[in-house]
Chain A
Amino acid sequence: MFGYYLQLAWRSLGRNRVLTTLMVLALALGIGACITTLTVLRLLSGDPLPGRSAQLYYPQVDPYPKDGYVPGQSKPQENLTWVDANNLFEAHRAPRQALVALGSAKIQPHDAGGRPFFGDAVMATAEFLPMVGAPFRYGSAWSADDDTAGARVVVIADFLNQKLFGGANSVGRTVRLNGNDFRVVGVLGHFSPQPRFYAINIGRSYGDGDGVFLPLRAARATEMAPTNISCWAAGDIEHLETAPCMWLGLWVELPDAAAVANYQRFLDGYVREQVAQGRFHRTDTALPDLMQWLRNEQVVPDDARLQAGLAFGFLLICVTNTIGLLLAKCLRRSREIGVRRALGATRGAIFGQFMVEAAIVGLAGGLLGLVFAEAGLWGIRHQPAEYASLARLDLSMFAFTFVVALASALVAGLLPAWRACVVAPAPQLKSS
């Protein structure tokens, strides 16, 4: 029976080529727009560390003065001061934890005459790279002893290793950063979490990974400045460790709900203690997990979400359009339906026949929509946005395209198919 429906549908679609082309084209455009924008949206709101993000938490406190404070109406700050970051870090209340700040490093190539260039630098403590699961090609991360000793060691990214050392094992060699020599202890494999969760509050949320990762104390000893400094009073920014300025993030690994509850208690206790000492005046704290933190920071650009909404509206118009055209076709075939009914076809059979026709339109629309989506993503890759180069169709979106296409076509086919199957055979036969 199914084969017969296919044959009927094929013939019916072929009979009115212009109308069929219109339906398929409209549906394909709607689907193409939807898949393009959804791919971008998924890319932007993705999980930077699949499998690990649920255990990473970001403690926040509020060291602001009392002025203008209305309890319950303010949110804790994005970053920590050096003092608070170190107090919380030294308490070691989580199995693993790391301080992190983003800076930039002037990198001097070894070859004579090579022009220096700037790269993003991550200043962190020893457990940062292991905790976020960064893969090592050569060597390993530095140790906690290196942290305290202020050892001038560095882990470099694969692309920087390629650029400076031609991709060879460079462990033990030196890299000149901001005029100081650092010894390479590790070379990363491909490591580029998207969004760059540790760098989002400086507005560079997506894009290439960072060039160098180095111990926080050693970096600060060479006067590497954090990119994001936020001060609530005039402070000496040459000596950030004592200034009323926030510039550090703390990531803690909390394996289960009990650990999270414990850490939250510890954090609240810490803030109460600071209030009692007169250092703090505001008691708000927060402990979002990584994905929640990304949502709080609204890392996904509004434009991406607006575009997805717009594309969805467009698809809705296309589906309405397809319903109308399918309906027109089906009403025109009332006589054919009447004849089939009179010859014994059940309502279900008529319904099935029209749904098969709709499904064919859907599949064709999906196939063409995929072409449009690829074209759309190609267009996005040539935009100057920082995430542009990442916009690619993956296998799941590929499959999703067909789900959307079939679903839209079947929804579009429902009404016409229903109208078709309720056609009363007698009047149709009579009228001729």
Chain B
Amino acid sequence: MEIGPILASLRKHRIPALLIVLEIALACAVLCNAVFMIGARAGEIRLSDAIDEQGLSVVTLTGADPERASSEIPRNLDALRRIPGVQAVAVLNTMPLSGNGWNVNFTTRPDMKPTDKGSINSNIYLMSEGADRALGLRLKQGRMFGSEDYASSTMGATFAPETHVAIVSERLAGRLWPGQSALGRKMYMDKYWYQVVGVVADVLRPTRAGAGLPGIYDTVFFPMQPTDVLNYYVLRSAPADRDRVARQAEDTLARLDPGAVAEGKTFVDMRGDFFSGASSMVWMLVLVCVVMLAVTAFGIVGLTSFWVAQRRRQIGIRRAVGARRGHILSYFRTENFLLSAAGVALGMVLAFGINLYLMQHYEVDRMPWYYLPGGAIALWLLGQAAVYGPAHRAAMVPPVEATRSG
């Protein structure tokens, strides 16, 4: 296909051509960044979590009498265990994605203060005996806590547990002791020290505190006797039973302790609540992208149709002197290809610039390079699809049009 005549004709219609290029460029820039953000959010929503999320139900019990915790917690656990279909129960101080963070700065040296920049902010999970089974924690190295660990661990007057054993997530182990085994090492918090006895697969934090998304797996587990800080009851059952278990567990605890407030939920719902903002952002982005592409496509259809209408006579002449329908079709397609090419070239630069700006002002990562050609190909295909109708109509112009006066 000769592109010389096409360029010559475009030069005559400089402004409409420029507008199409501009529209494609803008659409390409927005599309690349929006799709990148959709990908990032969708990745966040699907963050893995090494617990049995599908089978878990959680009941929070707040406002119970703290003085009676040591006797009421075992009673509550017993009652929950008797709910049909429940495989394991335990109680913790908080749960992944619950929004209730227990954030503590740990260091790897006894002389480092928690306020030191080198400390790592982590969430602490205090768990009652059996919580590893109830949650479905996956041990990677070392051991789980033993009965004696649970029996000897208490809450003092501070927010730090009075114990000397801890289990860390794989991710945190790697951050605290890069390239080394965490087993047997000590972590410090002010005057407290804890020895790592086990490493578990990565469990999510309750909040985005600390290092934000990169720190979402910075978690430490401690054993704990029944004390008043433990008020997230967790029940494990078959996924099919979880809704009923959550309801029954809430009723059970509300009946046992009428003075407290019990609230039951499946973990799947907790996850949905936690990421509700991200998922509505994803839907909003998808919607805008679709509408934007539609508008761009209709813009191309509109302008090309106008062009075709304006050039009916020229097309007729070309047909009369021997051009086939296919030639006319490919003329308009090539024209659109050239315009799209210019548009996406500009658009990729723009997309890159927008990404740089967003990186500076928002929590946005660098866009991987392949989003740019991806967006370019998408818009190029869109252009070809949009131009098909008008080009087809142009190809249908009969040669006799040449003889009619324009």
Contacts and interface: CB of A to CB of B under 8 A. Distances in A.
B277 A385 contact: yes
A116 B362 contact: no
B298 A321 contact: yes
A301 interface: yes
A67 B113 contact: yes
B23 interface: yes
Interface in A1-35: 19, 22, 26, 29-30, 33
Nearest to A380: B280
Interface string B12-38: 000110011011001101100010010
A85 interface: no
Secondary structure of the B contact surface, majority rule: helix
Contact of A234 (B62, B160, B303, B405): B160
A224 to B, nearest CB: 12
A292 B115 CA distance: 26
Contacts of B2: none
Interface in A219-241: 229, 231-239
B177 interface: no
B280 A324 contact: no
Contacts of B298: 22, 26, 321
A415 interface: yes
Interface string B93-106: 00000010000000
**Which of B15, B260, B363 has the largest count of A CB atoms less than 10 A from its CB?**
B15
Given A324-B19, A327-B16, A68 B113 contact: yes
A184 interface: no
Given A314-B291, A324-B303, A68 B116 contact: yes
A149 to B, nearest CB: 27
Contact of A384 (B99, B273, B363): B273
Contacts, number: 151
A385 B184 CA distance: 44
Contact of A33 (B118, B207, B281, B288): B288
B373 interface: no
B326 interface: no
Interface string B272-298: 010011001100110010011001101
Contact of A328 (B63, B117, B281, B302): B302
A415 to B, nearest CB: 7
Contacts of B29: 313
Interface stretch (A134-142, A165-173, A261-269, A303-311): A303-311
Contacts of A64: 115
A200 interface: no
Interface stretch (B123-131, B188-196, B315-323): B188-196
Contact of A332 (B116, B157, B191, B310): B310
Given A67-B116, A116-B63, A236 B157 contact: yes
Interface string A102-140: 000010100000011110000000000000000000000
Secondary structure of the A contact surface, majority rule: helix
B260 A116 contact: yes
A29 B291 contact: yes
Contact of B113 (A29, A30, A233, A432): A233
Contact of B191 (A234, A320, A327, A328): A234
B309 interface: yes
Given A67-B116, A325-B302, A385-B277, A302 B363 contact: yes
Contacts of A106: 62-63, 260-261
Contacts of A305: 362
A307 to B, nearest CB: 6
**Which of B191, B273, B281, B363 has the largest count of A CB atoms less than 10 A from its CB?**
B281
A316 interface: yes
**Which of A232, A329, A431 has the largest count of B CB atoms less than 10 A from its CB?**
A232
A178 to B, nearest CB: 7
A232 to B, nearest CB: 5
Chain A interface size band reads 35 or more
Contacts of A426: none
A68 to B, nearest CB: 4
A324 B20 contact: yes
A324 B309 contact: no
B15 A314 contact: no
B259 interface: yes
Nearest to B159: A237
A384 B190 CA distance: 40
Contacts of A116: 63, 259-261
A321 B30 contact: no
Interface residues of B, number: 61
Interface in A288-338: 301-303, 305-307, 310-311, 313-314, 316-318, 320-321, 323-325, 327-329, 331-332
Contacts of B210: none
A427 interface: no
Contact of B158 (A26, A236, A301): A236
Given A310-B30, A383-B276, A320 B288 contact: no
B406 interface: yes
Interface in A51-97: 64-65, 67-68
A272 interface: no
B263 to A, nearest CB: 9
A125 B192 CA distance: 36
Contact of A324 (B189, B259, B302, B310): B302
Nearest to B21: A320
A247 to B, nearest CB: 12
Given A232-B114, A236-B157, A332-B310, A313 B26 contact: yes
Contacts of A203: 99, 207
A265 B298 CA distance: 63
B83 interface: no
B302 A118 contact: no
A65 B16 CA distance: 66
Contact of B292 (A22, A67, A317): A317
Contacts of B16: 324, 327-328, 331
Contacts of B116: 67-68
Given A33-B288, A305-B362, A385-B280, A232 B115 contact: yes
A419 interface: yes
B192 A234 contact: yes
A29 B295 contact: yes
A323 B291 CA distance: 18
Contacts of A385: 276-277, 280
Given A116-B261, A237-B159, A432-B405, A324 B276 contact: no
A320 B299 CA distance: 9
A307 B284 contact: yes
B19 A327 contact: yes
Contact of A310 (B280, B288, B306, B363): B288
Contact of A306 (B37, B114, B259): B37
**Which of A179, A311, A327 has the largest count of B CB atoms less than 10 A from its CB?**
A327
3 closest Cβ contacts across the A-B interface? Answer: A328-B306, A106-B63, A321-B299
Given A26-B299, A115-B258, A302-B363, 10 more contacts: A26-B295, A33-B291, A106-B63, A118-B261, A232-B113, A306-B281, A310-B288, A313-B26, A328-B307, A415-B15
22 contacts: A26-B299, A29-B291, A65-B115, A68-B117, A106-B63, A106-B261, A118-B63, A178-B63, A232-B114, A234-B191, A235-B158, A237-B158, A303-B281, A317-B30, A317-B296, A320-B22, A321-B295, A321-B302, A324-B16, A324-B20, A327-B15, A328-B306
